[in-house]
Amino acid sequence: MIYIKILFTGFSPFGLEKINPSWEAVKILPDNIKDIEIIKIMIPTVFEKSINNVDKAIQKYDPDVVISVGQAGGRFGINPERIAININDASICDNDGNQPIDTPVFKDGPTAYFTTLPIKSIVKDILKNNIFSSVSNTSGTFVCNHIMYGVLHLIATKYTHKTIRAGFIHVPFIPEQAISKVNQPYLELEKITEALRIAAISCYENKVDIKLIGGSVD
């Protein structure tokens, strides 16, 4: 029987928010889903430090898959990200007061990395469960993109002993956050966790992604 290990990371709250739905959802994932062992860590919303934390966790746990999760206020559904780009361009400060503008994540890194998660499969499986989901083509230029790029770069350059798949999933606000704002979309925390659980299974079942319409005109 094949048994795999998935490392999920969630962020600490940032900006004006008191909670971060990414960590709230990750932390209540079960420790085991079918033949998948789930490892869960919270990482700080801080440039570099966040990557260092995941670096250590990869060393410690030797996962087969790394799924980083982050908050995307204003989005309606679960968004597996297609690509991470080699740029830090912060419009607000991170939690340590850093605000890099147009600097690379890794100086010697390529322009971008495509996710190695089966994102079309994940979207299809989440939609089947009546939770809104679509592929996103930008993870921004803040710490979310930073961690996605960073982890893919570490895997491509440092953890080459086996094929570790990795990628990023953006999740909406949860009701507690949206209720104090005007007309902000949100998703129940349980739905987000359920979507992440489904994503874990999709990764387990789909080594290669499916071909499915899911692009964006602009």
Alpha helices in the chain (DSSP H): 21-27, 49-61, 119-128, 143-157, 175-178, 189-205
Clarify whether 93 is annotated catalytic.
Answer: no
List the x/- string, 40-79, binding to a copy of itself by CB under 8 A: ------------------------------xxxxxxx---
Strand partners, 112: 85
Clarify whether 188 is annotated catalytic.
Answer: no
Nearest Cα to Cα of residue 85 among 110, 68, 66, 65: 110
Structure tokens at 211: 């071909």
CB 82, min distance to a copy of itself, A: 7
175 touching a copy of itself, by CB under 8 A: yes
Contact between 117 and 78 (Cβ < 8 Å):
no
Position of tokens 């440039």? 47
Q: In angstroms, rounded to a whole number, what is the distance separating the alpha carbons of residues 199 and 206?
A: 10
Q: Which residue in 24, 170, 194, 203 is the catalytic one?
A: 170
- At how many degrees (to 10) do helices 119-128 and 189-205 cross? 130
Identified binder of a copy of itself from the candidate list 38, 144, 154, 164, rule CB under 8 A: 144
Give the binding range for a copy of itself (CB under 8 A) out of 35-43, 59-67, 174-182, 196-204: 174-182
CB 77, min distance to a copy of itself, A: 8
Q: Which residue in 24, 81, 153, 203 is the catalytic one?
A: 81
C-beta of 36 vs 186, nearer to a copy of itself: 186
Start-to-end CA span in the chain (Å): 43
Residues that bind a copy of itself (CB under 8 A): 15, 70-76, 82-83, 85, 87-92, 99, 101-102, 110-114, 120, 127, 130-132, 135, 137-142, 144, 170, 175-176, 178-179, 183-185, 188, 209, 211-218
Residues with catalytic roles: 81, 144, 170
